[in-house]
Structure 1
Amino acid sequence: MNKQGYTFASATSTTAKALLLGAALSATGGAYAAGDKGDVTLAYVEWSSEVASTNVVKAVLEEQGYNVELKSLSAAAMWQAVAFGDADGMVAAWLPTTHEDYMKKVSAKIEDLGVNLDGTKLGLVVPTYSKLNSIEDLKTQGDDIDDRIIGIEPGAGLTRLTEKVVEDYGLEDIDLRTGSGATMTAALNNAIKGKRDIVVTGWTPHWMFARWDLKYLDDPKNVYGGAEQIHTIARLGLKEDMPEVYSILDNFHWTPEQMGQVMLKNQEKDADPYENAKAWVDSHPDIVKGWLPATAQ
C-alpha cells in the first residue's frame, strides 16, 4: 500500500518503473499479472452492504492488476485507517448522519469522493405483522417486545443514534442490547419463526428486507434523520500515488437493487463474498466498464 509518507524521489522512481513496465508489456502484447500494479488496502465494516460493495471493488481492482487487501474494522477504526494512511480508501461511509461524528474528526485528513449508493435508511425495524407502528408505541407496548431492542455493535453509528432514540423518546425502561449484525438477524429470524414481536436496529439496503416482510417504525422526532447515502472516501495523496485506483474508486456507483443481488448470494450456505463479487463483476461488464478510467476500457 502506498502511504502519505513517500518522498518525491521515491514516488518519481516508482512512477518511472511503472512506465517502463507498462511500455515493455505494451511492446510484447502482454497483460499485467495479478498484483503487478501494486498493493491496495480497503477498509470496511462488517455490515452486509459493505461486505458486498468492498468485495466488488476488490474484484474490479484485481482484474486491473492490483493486489487488494481488505481490513475489517469497527466504524471508528475504519475512518482512522483511511485518515492516517493505513488504508487507501473505503466505500462504506454512511453520510450525512450515521458517520457524521467520524467525518468531523478526520475531514481534513481524507478526501470525500462522493456518493456510491443512493437510497439508504436507518431506523427501528419490526415484522409487518407487528401492531407497533411508531417509536412512540414502545412507551406503552414495551411488554410486547420484552422491553428490549436488539442492536448491533456498541461502537456503530446506528447504535449511537439508537441510544439517542431511547433518551429522546423517554424509553428508559427499554434495554438496548448490542451485539453484531449477525446476532441481530439471528434474533429476528427466531422471532419471526415463532411469530413473536421484536424490534431490531435496521438499515437499508440489507438482505433481511428481501428475506422477510418488515417495516420501519415511524420516527416522528426524526432522530435517525432522513434518507442517507453511502460515500467513497480516499486517503490524501492517493490520486497522485495511484491515479487509476483513485479513478476507479471515484467512478464506483451502483444501485440498492444491484447491491441486493450480491448480498443475497452472500447469505447462501458456505458463501464466499469475494467469489460472489467476482461472479457479479463478470456478469455485469457494461456497469463495470463505467467505473474504469478511459485508458483501461
Structure 2
Amino acid sequence: MKKNLILTLTAIVLISLLLAGCATNTNEAGNAGNTKKEKAKEITLAYVAWDSEIASTNVVREVLESKLGYEVEMLQVDAGPMYVGIADGSADAMVAAWLPSTHGENYYEPNKDKLEDLGVNLDGTKVGLVVPTYMEISSIEDLKKEEVGKSLNYTITGIEPGAGLMTATEKAIEEYGLDDWNLLASSSAAMAKVLQDAYANEQPIIVTGWTPHWKFAQMELKYLEDPQNVYGGDEQIHTLVRLGLKEDQPDAYRFLDQFKWDPADMENVMVDILGGMSEEEAAKAWVEANETKVNEWIAGIK
C-alpha cells in the first residue's frame, strides 16, 4: 500500500511538472506570437523634407495607421541617408525616390542591390531651374548673358545641400560654363519663401524647382530650357522598401505596392498644408475625401 502511494505521488508530481512545462511553453509561444504581431504592426518611413515628400509620406502614414492599424515612425533625413536607411534596414520604406535622374546615379545605383523597388507611385514629375514668367529669359544658356547675371546677382537659390537636385545644378553650372554663378544652399521652405517675396515685387529670381509643387499653383512660373539635358526629362517617383519587408509585414508591403496617385492629389495636400493645416490634418482630410482611391490601395488586405 505504501509502495502504491509513493508511486501515485510520484506520478502526480511528474504530471504536474509536465503540465507546468507545457503551460510555460504555451505562454512563451503566445508571447513570441504577440511579439511578432506587435513587430508586424510597426513600420518606419524615411523621407526628405521636400513639400512633395512631406505630403506623400504623411498620406501613407495616415493610411497605415487609420486603415491598417500600424504604428508608424516618421524618419526625416537627407537624400543619401534615406537610401542607406532602406538598404541597411534601419528604415522600412520610402515613397520618395525620384528616378531615373535626380536620385539615380548618386543614391539609387549604389544601393539598388540592397533594397526592393516596388515601382512608380507618381508619374509626370520634373526638375530644373525655375523663374517667374515675367522674366524675359527662356533657357539656361541665357544665364551666360552679363545683364542677366547682374540682375540675379549671379545667384541660384537652392535647397538642402546634398539633394540630388543640388548635385544636378552644380553639374549644370559646370556644363553651361557659368563660372561666375553661385548656387546658394538653403532649404525647400527657405527657397519657396525667397521665391514668394521676389514674385510679390516682380523682382528677378531663379531657383531650383520641381513638380509637383504648390508654387506652380500659387505663382506663374516656368522651367528654363535645358538643351544639354543636364536635368534629364520627365521623372517618376518610386516606392522603395527594405529587403524582407514582404515576409515580415505583408499587409504594409501590399499597400505600398499598390500605392499610386496623381500630381493633382499631391498638390491638394501641399496646398492644404500651405493654407495652415498641419501635415497630419491635411493627410487625414485627403484620405477621408478620397475613399475610393484609398480602398484601391488596400484592396486584398484582410
Same fold (TM over 0.5): yes
Is 1:224 matched with 2:224? no
Is 1:137 matched with 2:142? yes
- Greater share of helix: 2
Match in the other structure for 1:126: 131
- C-alpha distance after superposition, 1:72-103 (max 9, x if no partner): 00000111111111111000000000111211
Shift of 1:16: 4.7
TM-score (norm 1): 0.87
Q: In 2, distance between residues paired with 1:258 and 1:151?
A: 25
**8 A contact 1:37–1:65 mirrored in 2:** no
Look up the SS of the partner of 2:195 in the other structure: helix
Match in the other structure for 2:269: 262
Supply the AA of the counterpart residue of 1:115: V
For 1:239-258, what aligned pairs fall within 5 Å after superposition? 239-258=246-265
Structure 1 residues 62 and 177, CA gap change in structure 2 (3 angstroms): same
Q: In 1, distance between residues paired with 2:30 and 2:76?
A: 32
**8 A contact 1:36–1:65 mirrored in 2:** no
Q: In 1, distance between residues paired with 2:299 and 2:30?
A: 23
How many residues get paired? 270
Where structure 1 has 5 or more consecutive residues not aligned to the other structure, the ranges are 1-11, 22-34
Match in the other structure for 1:8: none
Is 1:53 matched with 2:56? yes
Q: In 1, distance between residues paired with 2:121 and 2:31?
A: 30
Moved over 6 A (4+): 12-15
Q: In 1, distance between residues paired with 2:85 and 2:222?
A: 35
For 1:271-282, what aligned pairs fall within 5 Å after superposition? 271-282=277-288
Is 1:171 matched with 2:173? no
- C-alpha distance after superposition, 1:253-279 (max 9, x if no partner): 00001111001001123x211111011
**8 A contact 2:40–2:248 mirrored in 1:** no
Structure 1 residues 250 and 102, CA gap change in structure 2 (3 angstroms): same
Sequence identity (%): 51
Q: In 2, distance between residues paired with 1:103 and 1:253?
A: 20
Q: Which of 114-123 and 181-190 deviates more?
A: 181-190
Considering only CA atoms, is the larger Rg found in Structure 1 or Structure 2? Answer: 2
Look up the SS of the partner of 1:290 in the other structure: helix
- C-alpha distance after superposition, 1:228-262 (max 9, x if no partner): 00000000000000000000010000000111100
- C-alpha distance after superposition, 1:103-130 (max 9, x if no partner): 1111111000000000000000000000
Match in the other structure for 2:194: 187
Q: In 1, distance between residues paired with 2:126 and 2:75?
A: 25
**8 A contact 1:144–1:197 mirrored in 2:** yes
**8 A contact 1:36–1:66 mirrored in 2:** no
Shift of 1:68: 0.4
Look up the SS of the partner of 1:93 in the other structure: strand
For 1:92-171, what aligned pairs fall within 5 Å after superposition? 92-100=96-104, 101-140=106-145, 141-171=148-178
Match in the other structure for 2:91: 87
Structure 1 residues 245 and 143, CA gap change in structure 2 (3 angstroms): same
TM-score (norm 2): 0.86
- C-alpha distance after superposition, 1:37-93 (max 9, x if no partner): 521100000000000000000000002110001000000011111111111100000
For 1:2-13, what aligned pairs fall within 5 Å after superposition? none
Q: In 2, distance between residues paired with 1:219 and 1:69?
A: 39
Where structure 2 has 5 or more consecutive residues not aligned to the other structure, the ranges are 1-28
Is 1:38 matched with 2:41? yes
Is 1:288 matched with 2:300? no
Shift of 1:17: 4.3
**8 A contact 2:40–2:249 mirrored in 1:** no
Q: In 2, distance between residues paired with 1:121 and 1:167?
A: 21
**8 A contact 2:254–2:301 mirrored in 1:** no
Shift of 1:293: 3.7
The CA RMSD measured in Å over matched residues stands at: 1.8
**8 A contact 2:58–2:279 mirrored in 1:** yes
